[in-house]
Amino acid sequence: MELCLSPDTRTAMLDGAPLSLGARAFDVLSVLHAHADRVVSKAELLDAVWSGLVVEESNLSVQIAGLRKALGRDAIKTVPGVGYQLTLGAEAPSAPEGAPAVPTRPSLAVLPFANLTGRPDSDYLVDGIVGEITAALSRVPTFLVISTTSSFTYRGRSVDLAQVGRELGVRYVMEGSIQQAGTRLRIFAQVVEAETGHMIWSDRFDGTTADIFDLQDAVAERVAGALEPTMIWAEAARARAKPTESLTAHDLCLRAAPMVYRQNRLSDLTEAMDLTRRAMELDPDYEQAKALFAYSHTCALATRWWTHEQAIAALPQAYEVLDSPRADALELTYCGHYVAYVARDRPRGREALERAARMNPNSATTAMLLGWVCNYEGDSPAALAQFERCLRISPLHPQIGIVNCGIGMAHMQAGAFEEAAAAYETALAQYPEFATIQLGLTCVYVRLGRMEDARRVGDWLRAKVPNQSVARFLRTTPHTAPLHHELQIEALRVLGFPEDDP
């Protein structure tokens, strides 16, 4: 393939056909083309294309991705820990003989990060941060992480990410860089699908050299916390793209997972129940299917689409997971919360969630559901600590509305009604279908004397849960805090809900 660039007219031709490139993409390509005989560092590209400007490395990543789309995936190789090299027309290598097969569960390699500090003697610092990230990710049982002894062999080699995926047998690759200005550090990281180069996650982190160990821990924690839900969604998309005849128990669960997480339609939850039920028929010992089956029942009750009598149906599967020595952290999380919420077995549920948190301390979902079980027990300080940890490690968690609802609940049970109202109102904007938010708002609005707001929310709740009564609340609530009971009974009576079941 022949590439021709005209700097005067700022045009590019590939095999005689014009290329449609933006100004920055043309500049990046010009630098790579002028130095096609060598690797061009990320720092050199940033200086040449964005001279005099302070920009995120993500700007460069976006331009590289666009050029690969225009020129072909193998036209620009990544050199882990260094930069990029134009290799237009080079034949894409196949997987070497004996290369490991890509496993069925998500798999990830963390490549050496580029040292953009301007100080080669800082390589140890960069490698230390990457090592911490790799160690944190390796504790997440949801996916397989390749050790740095394998991934660091790519330092300084001209490879594309698809080649890395083939050689290491992984589906996803993480790369990044570290910049320094005085004592300030900036870390950029991104995860891409190796085969396609599609970016599924990116973020940046700022700190100083004075708190380098705290920064390492924070980056590792945030990356692991963010990637758990992100990779589950990415794997679900892959499963949906497979032909129907290739379905397995694992693929059925991948398809079910995002339907459970969204919790925005009863039809999604019932379809997830059907998918996980089919998975259990294929493999009666499949713990993930049992856990998702239980969690879908939790969600159907929490959203008030189902009654408590319907939701109790997954109890056998939940206890089978809790009794299994094979259950991983996420499976213990779902089933521990289920037995605490639906079966009112709060001690067993909290024990399972605390065990899950020890197994995977970087799971935002575990922190979120452990916070809810602490709420059920009236332990507001512990609940707030878990919810705050969830938001710290995964500020864009798919179920952030449920997290903020839990924060509102903890404040309410502690008697901090203004703080509770603010948290509940935030949660309502994020997840208006979640009736637990409206139940909590009736309590705090009545106690704050905001009766017009209380009646408005009460009308919505009456339409959503027509059988709501004081007796039903007392019979089905998982909460033990006396103030919670007092507030909810007061609100239901003031707003005219019946004492007994209809």
Place of tokens 């919670």: 484
Could you tell me what percent of the chain has a pLDDT over 70? 92
Residue 197 has pLDDT above 90, yes or no: no
Q: What local confidence, expressed as pLDDT, does residue 95 receive?
A: 46
Q: How far is CA 98 from the centre of its chain?
A: 33
- The closest alpha carbon to 437, from 463, 407, 416, belongs to 407
Q: What local confidence, expressed as pLDDT, does residue 235 receive?
A: 64
Residue 295 has pLDDT above 70, yes or no: yes
- The closest alpha carbon to 148, from 114, 102, 113, belongs to 113
Residue 243 has pLDDT above 60, yes or no: no
Q: What local confidence, expressed as pLDDT, does residue 470 receive?
A: 95
Residue 371 CB partners (closer than 8 Å, separation 6+): 382, 383, 384, 385, 386, 387, 390, 403, 406, 410
- Output the six-digit token pair for 90: 């080079």
Residue 246 has pLDDT above 70, yes or no: no
Answer yes or no: are the C-beta atoms of 173 and 108 closer than 8 Å: yes
pTM here is 0.66
pLDDT tens column, 201-215: 888 888 887 777 777
Q: What local confidence, expressed as pLDDT, does residue 331 receive?
A: 92
- The closest alpha carbon to 216, from 122, 130, 108, 115, belongs to 130
Pick from 240-244, 332-336, 357-361: least confident: 240-244
Residue 239 has pLDDT above 60, yes or no: no
- The closest alpha carbon to 55, from 197, 216, 204, belongs to 204
Q: What local confidence, expressed as pLDDT, does residue 233 receive?
A: 62
pLDDT, greater one: 487 or 304: 487
* Burial of residue 183 (number of CB atoms within 10 Å: 0-12, 13-18, 19+): exposed
Mean pLDDT of 483-488: 96
pLDDT tens column, 296-338: 999 999 888 898 899 999 999 999 999 998 888 889 999 999 9
All structural domains of the chain: 3-74 (1.10.10.10), 107-239 (3.40.50.10610), 242-361 (1.25.40.10), 389-502 (1.25.40.10)
First to last CA, the chain: 76
Angle at 263 between CA 260 and CA 265, to 5 degrees: 110
Q: What local confidence, expressed as pLDDT, does residue 477 receive?
A: 92
pLDDT tens column, 392-432: 878 778 789 999 999 999 999 999 999 999 999 999 999 99
Q: What is the DSSP pairing of strand 11-14 with strand 17-18?
A: antiparallel
Q: What local confidence, expressed as pLDDT, does residue 94 receive?
A: 47
- The closest alpha carbon to 495, from 428, 443, 448, belongs to 443
pLDDT, greater one: 137 or 461: 461
Mean pLDDT of 364-382: 95
- For residue 472, CA distances in Å to 305, 375, 467, 497 come to 15, 19, 8, 11
Cα gap 197→255, rounded to integer Å: 23
- Output the six-digit token pair for 320: 């089978």
pLDDT confidence of 145, banded at 50, 70, 90? confident
Cα gap 292→333, rounded to integer Å: 10
If one counts every other C-beta atom within 10 angstroms of the C-beta of residue 332, the result is 26
Q: What local confidence, expressed as pLDDT, does residue 502 receive?
A: 67
If one counts every other C-beta atom within 10 angstroms of the C-beta of residue 118, the result is 10
Residue 160 has pLDDT above 80, yes or no: no
pLDDT, greater one: 479 or 106: 479
Averaged pLDDT score across all residues of the chain: 86
Answer yes or no: are the C-beta atoms of 45 and 28 closer than 8 Å: yes
pLDDT confidence of 87, banded at 50, 70, 90? confident
- Output the six-digit token pair for 291: 């856990």
Residue 432 CB partners (closer than 8 Å, separation 6+): none
pLDDT confidence of 456, banded at 50, 70, 90? very high
pLDDT confidence of 388, banded at 50, 70, 90? very high
pLDDT, greater one: 221 or 319: 319
Instruction: Using DSSP, state whether 278 is helix, strand or coil.
Output: helix
- Output the six-digit token pair for 151: 């991934």
Helix, strand, coil % in the chain, rounded to nearest 5: 60, 10, 30
Q: How far is CA 502 from the centre of its chain?
A: 42
Residue 113 has pLDDT above 70, yes or no: yes
Angle at 337 between CA 282 and CA 309, to 5 degrees: 75
pLDDT confidence of 91, banded at 50, 70, 90? low
Q: What local confidence, expressed as pLDDT, does residue 14 receive?
A: 87
Answer yes or no: are the C-beta atoms of 199 and 190 closer than 8 Å: yes
Place of tokens 């003989």: 97
